[in-house]
Structure formats: C-alpha cells, structure tokens
A and B are shown apart, each in its own frame.
Chain A
C-alpha cells in the first residue's frame, strides 16, 4: 500500500518535472478560463438572489414590472422572447429549406459559392445596423403596409388592434432576417454532402429534382439541418439590439403581433443604466440568469445533435 503510494508520488513528481513548459502555460490559461467562467456565472447567480428571495417563483410568473414601486415580474419578457423567437424560427425554417435548395440544386454551380457567401454576409453585419434599418424601414412598413393589407384579417386575435409599427411583428421580421442565413448555411452544406450516387440512383428511376430532394436528400440531412435550426433559434432568443430598437419596449403580454412588447435581452439592455435600487439591479441580473439558462439549454441541445451528426 505505502509502496504503491510512494510510486504514485514519484510518478507525479516525475511528470511535474517533465511537464513541458508550453504545456504548463497552456494548461494554466485553460484552467484560468474555466475558473473565470465559473466565477462569472457564480457572481451572476449571487446577485440575482435578492429578487428571488423576495418574490420566489412569483418573480418568474409575475406579470407586473414597476421598477419605481419595486415590483418585479418577468413574465412579460419571457412571453416576448418566446413569441418573437418561436415565430421567427418558424419563418426561418421555411425560408432556409427553399433558399438552400435554390443555391445547391437550381443556381448554376459557378455562382454557388458566391451566392452562399452573400447569404453569410448577413451574419457579419453588426446587429445595431440591422436595428437602425429596422427603425427607418421595417417599422414604417409594418404600420403603413402590412397593417392595411392584413386589416381584413383583424378578427383573428394575432392580427387585431392598431399599431405604431413598433411591435412583436417588427421584431419577428428583423429576427427572421438575421437567423435565416445560419440555418440556410447548415442545410446548404449538408445538401452538398449528400452522396451523388444516391441522387443519381433516384434520377435513374425517373424521379424529378424535387422528388430526389424530398425522398433522398431531406431524410439524410435531417440531423445537420436540426443542428443549424437549433443554433439559429438560440441566436433569436439572445438577440438584443435589433429587437430593442423595433419591439416597442412596453412590458406587455399580448397575443396580437401588432402590439408593442418587450424581451428579456431588450429590458436588460435598456434598464441597467437607470437602475439604482438594489432590488431593480438584482431583478435585471435575474432576467439575465433566466436568459442564460434558456440559451444554455438550447446550446447543449445543439451540441448533442451536432455530436451525433459527426459520429455518423
């Protein structure tokens, strides 16, 4: 027993002496990175505790947010984040299958690379610029164009009411625009990797281009597409600037897409500068914890799906 332990100690000592300097340095920074990340998360959780202590679960399901009376409920923001990101990802899925099909199957091979890098260019545009464009073009279009067009449908709850243009719908439009390139590029890459033999076999049986896509390609790329869609959804949940500039910033729980609302990320961005009471700061940080947990779950899902993609 003691002999074993001495051997262990000797081998540890040997390893320490023989530890390569560059391995030591890189290990040091890696451990530092892990420690710092855990520290940040820990601090955030600690600062969020006061508001959870005061309101308990009521903080998450509370519908009133009145900072000057120290009343805090997160539901309007959770609802706003949920409705904008869900509808945006729905649009993104529909558009990105079509756009990827166009780039891979229809467009001439010569321009394929060019088209996909143009699509990916959207991801590189800073979101504040999309928001600026949203204020001056999307918001007026929702007020002056979409509302009149959809007014015959205003008996349907989601299209009811008047609008200033600053609304869930404006946020959904800018979000769709920002996240669709992400899912499109995943689907496009997967489509390009479908084995040509399988496609040729289907063509030889007389299938049309669309039938090859539906029967051969689509099932094969399902997982890769799913990973891209989950990542795009995560982006929509956390997107701040483009949303805060067009969503209206009123803590509402409303079913009509023409009404103004608020999201988790938007209220954090807006209210930190003016927050002075301890409880208000704590409530904002707690919203951060909710948003962090939300995107963490989405991310872990994406990582798990991606891992199974690469294993295949």
Chain B
C-alpha cells in the first residue's frame, strides 16, 4: 500500500514535468509557425527593395529600415569590437589583482543592464547634444554588445593549451608576439564566432533604438541623421491600425528571425568544423 502511494506520487510528478515542458515548448512552436504563416504574405522582393509606399497599395517595403539597421549595427561593432576584444584579451592574458577583479565585475554588470538603459545612456550622451541619430543608436547597441564580445574573447583565449604558449616562450619569442600570433591565432575562429553572436544579439534589439534613432521613412544619409531599423518597423507597424502594415510587420519579423537564426546556427556549424583540428 505504501509502496504504491510512492509510485503514484512519482507518476504524478512525471505528468507534471511533461505538462511543464509542453507549456514551455508549445508557445514557442506557435510563435515560429505564426511568424512563418503570417510572414509569408508579404515576403517578396518589394519588401527588401522598396521604401514605404501608399497604404492603398501594398504598403511598399522596408529598405529604409534595412539600411538603417546596417548602419546602426556597423557603428555598434566599431564601438564594441575594440573595447570588448581588448578588455577580454586583458582579462585572459594579463589581468591580475584588484583592477582585473573590478573589470570582470563591471563586465558582468554591463551584461545584466536592461537594454533600454543602454538607450538612456546614449540619449544623455549623444541625443541631448546631437539629436536622434544613427550614432546614438550605434552607441546604445555597442554598449550592449561589449560584454558579449569581452566574455567570448576571454573564454576563447583561455581555451588555448598551455603547451602551445610554452613552445613559443621556449623559442624566446617576445610576449606580444606570442599573444598576438599564437594565442589570438589559435583562438581566432572562436573569437570571430563570439563577434557574430554579439551581432546576432544586437541586431534584434528594439528598446534602445526607440529612444535614440527616431524612426521615420527616410534612408539615413550619414551617421548624424535619424534612421529607422528592422525591429523598430515591426514595433511601429504592429501598433498601427492598418492590415497592410500588420502584414509588413510579420514579414519583417520573418526576415529578422531568419537573420538571427542563420547567424546563430551558422556560428555553431562553423565552430564544429573548426574545432575538429
């Protein structure tokens, strides 16, 4: 009798676990299926080659947002790559003592800062003086990318086997050459993978752009002009009352999902190839 009660409890927990897993996984499948089905309605060439058009027609495309996203992400990479890479390099190769501890904590904290706060940072530093611009958006996304780049660089460099470094030292090679050519050279593919994952992370960020780049329908001409971005267009069109725009929002979401997934899966695949030797 007692034994069977324990068996029942075990069964019940199994049922609960299956249920919990389904609660988690069914919405995910629903999201993906609804993006594909709704997104395919306007997933055409016009979407990526035209700027917004008349509401009476197809509504045009999101070329302005694609250019905007490319420019903002480019600025973000210009800011985050040197800062993140060298901070990661410093932590992996040289850091010791209190400063290293402080830097590592700071990077952990930066990684946990809500992305909208990065937007507020960029607002106070750039927007108040220069206005809503690609530069402000790029700074916001750059701040978000830095901890990702720094961590992946540090982890990649720490995976370099000690024997390889020692071989370099035994030849009397200078420290900076060892770091640059042996360590970075060895960990190169993992460092690049980290860059790409950081890129995938920021390309879908919306909140910080909402307070920094303004939006609008123009293709930005330089880094101080206002811009739009793919995720921002999804947000604006989703809130609009027009079905034409809803369709474009879904198609833009599909486009964004494909970009993010290709980056994520591509990196995993690329790493698997590179890790063999």
Binding site for B on A (CB under 8 A): 20-23, 25-30, 32-34, 36-37, 39-41, 43-44, 47, 94-99, 101-103, 105-106, 115, 118-119, 121-122, 124-133, 135-137, 177, 180-181, 184, 208-211, 213, 231, 234, 237-241, 244-245, 265, 268-270, 272-273, 281, 284-285, 288, 291-292, 295-296, 298-300, 302-303
The smallest C-beta distance from B168 to any residue of chain A, in angstroms, reads 13
Bound-state Cα–Cα, A44 to B180, Å: 37
Contact A208 B83 (CB under 8 A): no
Residues on B with beta carbons closer than 8 Å to the beta carbon of A36: 83
A115–B114 Cα gap in the complex (Å)? Answer: 28
Quote the shortest CB–CB distance from A210 to chain B (angstroms): 4
A sample of 24 inter-chain contacts (CB < 8 A) reads A26-B94, A33-B146, A34-B103, A34-B106, A39-B125, A40-B143, A99-B23, A102-B20, A119-B25, A121-B28, A125-B260, A126-B203, A127-B207, A177-B24, A177-B27, A177-B28, A180-B24, A238-B117, A239-B114, A273-B211, A285-B124, A291-B117, A292-B114, A303-B109
Cα–Cα, bound, A266→B150 (Å): 29
- Using A273-B214, A285-B124 as known contacts, list a sample of 13 further A-B pairs with CB atoms less than 8 Å apart, ordered by residue number in A: A22-B93, A29-B90, A30-B99, A47-B128, A94-B20, A96-B24, A128-B235, A129-B253, A177-B27, A268-B116, A272-B211, A288-B116, A291-B114
Q: When chains A and B are docked, how far (Å) is the Cα of A37 from the Cα of B142?
A: 12
A46 to chain B, nearest CB (A): 8
**A302 touching B18 in the complex, CB below 8 Å, given contacts A26-B94, A132-B250:** no
Within 8 Å CB of B71, what residues of A? none
- CB of B61 to closest CB in A, whole Å: 18
- In the complex the two chains form, is B27's CB within 8 Å of A240's CB? no
- Shortest distance in angstroms between B55's beta carbon and chain A's nearest beta carbon? 19
Check B10–A124 contact: CB distance below 8 A.
Answer: no
Bound-state Cα–Cα, A44 to B105, Å: 20
Give the residue among B85, B132, B211, B234 with the most A Cβ atoms within 10 A.
Answer: B211
Identify the interface centre among B19, B21, B105, B113: most chain A CB within 10 Å of its CB.
B21
Determine how close the nearest CB of chain B comes to the CB of A4; give it in whole angstroms. Answer: 22
Residues of chain A with a CB closer than 8 A to B200's CB: 124
B115 → chain A, closest Cβ, in Å? 7
Name the residue among B24, B109, B112 with the largest chain A CB count within 10 angstroms. Answer: B24
Q: Which of A121, A184, A241 contacts B206 (CB 8 A)?
A: A241
A44 near B109: Cβ-Cβ < 8 Å: no
How far, in angstroms, from A102 to B23 measured CA to CA in the complex? 12
* A238/B116 contact (C-beta < 8 A), A23-B94, A137-B30 known: yes
Residues of B within 8 A of A97 (CB): 20
Contacting pair A26 B87 (CB below 8 A)? yes
A126 touches B206 (CB 8 A): yes
| Beta-carbon contact of B260 and A101 below 8 Å | no
Contact check, A208 vs B6: say whether CB atoms are below 8 A apart: yes
